[in-house]
Amino acid sequence: MPALKTGLALLALATSTYAQYFGGYTSGSDNPYSSSSSSSDTNGDGSSTFGGQSSGSFGGFGGFGQYNKTVTAHAVLAALAFGFFFPVGGIVIRLASFRGLWLVHGLFQIFAYLLYIAGAGIGLWMISARRQLLHDPHPIIGIILLVLIFFQPFLGFLHHFMFKKHSRRVVWSYGHIWLGRIIITLGIINGGLGLRLARRAPVAPPSRGAIIGYSVVAGLIWLVYVVSAIVGERKRGRVVMVRETEGHGKEYESSRSREHSREQYA
């Protein structure tokens, strides 16, 4: 079953990458950046319009320069959150073992969330300037992710304290763990959808190098994240088996404290 889930997620990521390369720029109603007047010269001076506005205002984004800065900031913040800090925080909690590990994990995830809040805020501003963007799945998924991540810190604290009380996972544990896995995977895929959307803009689309770079780096980090989850679950399974065999004595709990710190979020 884990192999099937991994394969399905890899297939989704590969499909996203394929769309990045071959989705290209389309016109008409399928392209949220286009309008009937986007390529026409409406004032007879050789300039084109975008979204019914002059090229200087670029469809409400305040000019080409402002558009480039806005899109770049949004992409960098979201890519750092989902392409590095969220998965690395998940990798650390599964593979490392030291006192206070759960706090390090929490700090990684909170910092990533703050990055994403900033990136999503920029994205929401872009939507307010160009509501046609809501016709694309990228901003819709981004908003869903923003809402889902809000619950993760609360689920994480419940998981930690309930685990300390019961020495086992409870429903809050599985909610936190699996919601986190879904969020990270969906966030990485949505980054690919964002690059696809940016390629459809009439100006300054992302370079092929940027697309390849994101696909390779994010794909590798996601793969390491999946492997770390599998390794962590196997180690946890062995620890639980030994604990059930030897009992729950204080001496045993002390000898296994390092293992317990690892399994809290595995």
pLDDT at 260 over 60: no
pLDDT on residue 57: 54
Coil/strand/helix, residue 50: strand
In terms of Cα–Cα distance, which of 45, 47, 43, 51 is closest to 27? 51
Q: Does residue 6 belong to any structural domain of this protein?
A: no
Q: Does residue 109 belong to any structural domain of this protein?
A: yes
The number of beta carbons lying within 10 Å of the beta carbon of residue 59 is 25
Q: How confident is the model at residue 230 (pLDDT cuts 50, 70, 90)?
A: very high
Look at 239 and 232; give whichever has higher pLDDT: 232
> Rounded to whole angstroms, how far apart are CA atoms 156 and 169?
12
What percent of the chain has pLDDT above 90?
Answer: 43
Q: Does residue 191 belong to any structural domain of this protein?
A: yes
CA dist 141 → 14, 132, 134, 259 (Å): 18, 15, 10, 36
**Can you say whether the dihedral through the CA atoms of 81, 106, 220, 14 is positive or negative?**
negative
Q: Which of 82-96, 160-174, 186-200 is predicted least confidently?
A: 160-174
Q: Does residue 130 belong to any structural domain of this protein?
A: yes
Per the CB < 8 A criterion, the answer to whether 225 and 66 are in contact is no
pLDDT at 16 over 70: no
In terms of Cα–Cα distance, which of 20, 12, 25 is closest to 75? 20
**Can you say whether the dihedral through the CA atoms of 49, 55, 57, 61 is positive or negative?**
positive
Strand partners, 54: 49
CATH number of residue 156's parent domain: 1.20.120
Return the H-helix or E-strand segment holding 138: helix 137-166
Q: What is the mean pLDDT of residues 160-164?
A: 78
Coil/strand/helix, residue 49: strand
pLDDT at 32 over 90: no
pLDDT at 11 over 50: no
Q: How many structural domains comprise the chain?
A: 1
Q: How confident is the model at residue 41 (pLDDT cuts 50, 70, 90)?
A: very low
Q: How confident is the model at residue 49 (pLDDT cuts 50, 70, 90)?
A: very low
pLDDT on residue 37: 41
Q: Does residue 253 belong to any structural domain of this protein?
A: yes
Q: Does residue 78 belong to any structural domain of this protein?
A: yes
Spell out the long-range contacts of 204-210 with Cβ–Cβ below 8 A and sequence spacing 24 or more.
204/64, 204/67, 204/68, 204/71, 205/25, 206/75, 208/21
Q: Does residue 149 belong to any structural domain of this protein?
A: yes
pLDDT on residue 185: 97
- For the chain, give me the number of helices (H) and strands (E)? 9, 2
pLDDT on residue 142: 97
Q: List the domain range (segments joined by +) for residue 132.
A: 64-263
Q: Which amino acid is at 75?
A: A
Q: For 118-159, write each residue's pLDDT tens digit.
A: 999 999 999 988 888 899 999 999 999 999 999 999 988 888
Q: Does residue 185 belong to any structural domain of this protein?
A: yes
